[in-house]
């Protein structure tokens, strides 16, 4: 059974979905006005870890994840989790490590089901910030800039 909760953060409302004791989705810019009463222990853990991250970027997420994607996407998402806080890699650098292309890495980042937890915001263009959530301008890019500043990477 899927369960969802919504919380406020410095980058806007966030929604998290869990299933069978694992985090399956995280979404930015949620318009839900619902204040969720947290009764699920996993939801409480997610909320605490996310709040800890926004207090101190040095926080490491330790959450059970159910990442559903192609084998290549999962390979990219695992590589994203290995990028330390305050560090970035270009799409090309990550692609070279994975013996792939920058475009394929970008597509896998765009498909990331749990952004923030799997830090796709730490992947940038060779000469700039790159995209975020499939966008190259607007609120998504401002959110990426905020996260990178928070982590000391900008």
* Cβ contacts of 74 within 8 Å, gap of 6 or more: 67
Instruction: Identify which of 103, 116, 35 has the alpha carbon closest to the alpha carbon of residue 72.
Output: 103
Residues carrying an active site annotation: 120
Q: How far apart are the C-alpha atoms of 20 and 29, rounded to whole Å? A: 25
Q: How many Cα atoms sit within 13 Å of 140 on the Cβ side?
A: 14
Q: How far apart are the C-alpha atoms of 55 and 116, rounded to whole Å? A: 14
Q: How far apart are the C-alpha atoms of 30 and 57, rounded to whole Å? A: 22
Instruction: Identify which of 28, 42, 32 has the alpha carbon closest to the alpha carbon of residue 134.
Output: 28
């Amino acid at each position: 059974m899927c369960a969802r909760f919504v919380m406020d953060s410095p980058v806007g409302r966030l929604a998290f979905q869990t299933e069978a004791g694992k985090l399956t989705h995280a979404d930015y810019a949620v318009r839900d006005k619902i204040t969720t009463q947290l009764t699920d222990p996993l939801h409480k853990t997610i909320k605490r870890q996310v709040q800890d991250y926004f207090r101190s970027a040095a926080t490491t997420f330790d959450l059970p994840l159910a990442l559903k994607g192609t084998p290549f996407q999962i390979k990219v998402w695992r590589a994203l989790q290995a990028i330390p806080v305050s560090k970035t890699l270009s799409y090309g650098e990550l692609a070279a490590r994975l013996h792939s292309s920058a475009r394929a890495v970008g597509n896998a980042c765009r498909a990331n089901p749990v952004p923030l937890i799997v830090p796709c915001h730490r992947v940038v263009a060779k000469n700039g910030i790159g995209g975020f959530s499939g966008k190259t301008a607007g609120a998504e890019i401002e959110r990426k800039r905020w996260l990178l500043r928070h982590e000391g990477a900008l």
